Amino acid sequence: MSRYAVLGAGSWGTTFAKVLADAGTDVVLWARREEVADAIVTDHVNPEYLPDVKLPAALRATHDAQAALDGVTTVVLAIPAQKLRGHLEDWAGSLPRGATVVSLAKGVEMGTLKRMSEVIADAGRVDPERIAVLSGPNLAGEIAAEQPTATVVACTDHDRAVAVQHECSTRYFKPYTNVDVIGCELGGACKNVIALACGVAAGQGYGDNTTASLITRGLAEISRLTVALGGQAITLAGLAGMGDLVATCSSPLSRNRRFGESLGHGLSVAEAERANHGQVAEGVKSCEAIAELARRHGVDTPIVDAVRRVCAGSVSAREVGDELINRERKPE
């Protein structure tokens, strides 16, 4: 009998815990703040992140991470990318031996330039074949409302991916499997940066042609980087690549796109953070790590680099747009 602990009760952790409970899987959700765990247990609601969603009565919650991890077969990590290492260092000794560890975070760690599965292997002391990544066009609010959605569970151990696939399948949530962890992770992390670029363009009043151009050329950048890092370009044609780009770059629900829009309106990064109500827009930090990763591997990523410079405040949104459109002409 499988038992899951979901660590992190933000929008996505709470939603994914609901998916698991709806799939009939035994699941406990760890919340950093006691009052959030209490509200989930008592009122079946996460008042801060999903106030309008009634959570399943079968979903348990706790503020005690050790208690949540006790005896589970699968650990799901729903912590923002730049905060994951710190938590894992605390939890490493309590992660059950042999458990599958599923990463939900979409980012690349600043400084180390590591993907989330590498951070988990490193800080959590987990064998790479036990680490799975779940990624795809998965805006939490729509899934919490039970709108039909597909996703990808990637793990180098195919049998583990299949187990997670079955344990999170519901009538509204359809997971596919993949063995290309690198491609799925880079798809999820990099699309946030491209969504920032689309937001910056939208904030300046540009429409769908600009968005589609950025999505498509962004996909070319992500595919090049994936191949350079040992992943497969074909993965990016799927849900974790094109699928997530389309959803995130076009949706008003995306925090990365909204953050970009604020920058496009002329707000500073600090002002845009306030406008996003403190919710995580992973691309703002990951763009720096992804740009550096690309530079070290000799991969050309002009859109990622443009976003990095806008987020660093070294160039204005308007200037960077002009630069991108005036780059050298070349074959597609």
Ligand X SMILES: O=C(CO)COP(=O)(O)O
> How far is residue 230 CA from its own chain's centroid?
20
Closer residue to ligand NAI in complex, CB, 180/282: 282
Beta bridge partners of 151: 175
Catalytic residues, by residue number, are 191
Does position 104 interact with ligand NAI (CB under 6 A)? The reply is: yes
Radius of gyration of the chain (CA): 19
Pair 190, 196: CB distance under 8 Å: no
Q: Which of 40, 91, 95, 106 binds ligand NAI (CB under 6 A)?
A: 106
Does position 30 interact with ligand NAI (CB under 6 A)? The reply is: no
Q: Which stretch binds ligand NAI (CB under 6 A): 54-62, 132-140, 169-177, 203-211?
A: 132-140
Number of other CB atoms surrounding residue 45 within 10 Å: 17
Pair 45, 57: CB distance under 8 Å: no
Looking only at the bridges linking them, the beta strands covering 74-77 and 100-103 are: parallel
Does position 63 interact with ligand NAI (CB under 6 A)? The reply is: no
Does position 139 interact with ligand NAI (CB under 6 A)? The reply is: yes
What's the min distance (Å) between Cβ of 73 and ligand NAI? 21
Q: How far apart, in Å, do the first and last CA atoms of the chain sit?
A: 51
Structure tokens at 299: 């991969």
144 binds, among ligand NAI, ligand X, none (CB under 5 to 8 A by kind): none
Q: Which of 4, 6, 11, 242 binds ligand NAI (CB under 6 A)?
A: 11
Does position 88 interact with ligand NAI (CB under 6 A)? The reply is: no
CA distances, 28 to each of 77, 231, 315 (Å): 12, 33, 45
Looking only at the bridges linking them, the beta strands covering 26-30 and 173-178 are: unpaired
What's the min distance (Å) between Cβ of 135 and ligand NAI? 7
248 binds, among ligand NAI, ligand X, none (CB under 5 to 8 A by kind): ligand X
Helices (H) and strands (E) in the chain, counts: 15, 8
Residue 80, classed as helix, strand or coil, is coil
Residues lying near ligand X in the complex (CB under 6 A) are found at 106, 137-139, 192, 195, 244, 247-248, 254-256, 282
**191 annotated to a ligand binding site:** yes
Annotated binding-site positions for NADPH: 11-12, 32-33, 49, 106, 140, 255, 280, 282
Interface residue list for ligand NAI (CB under 6 A): 8-13, 32, 49, 78-81, 83, 104-107, 138-140, 279-280, 282
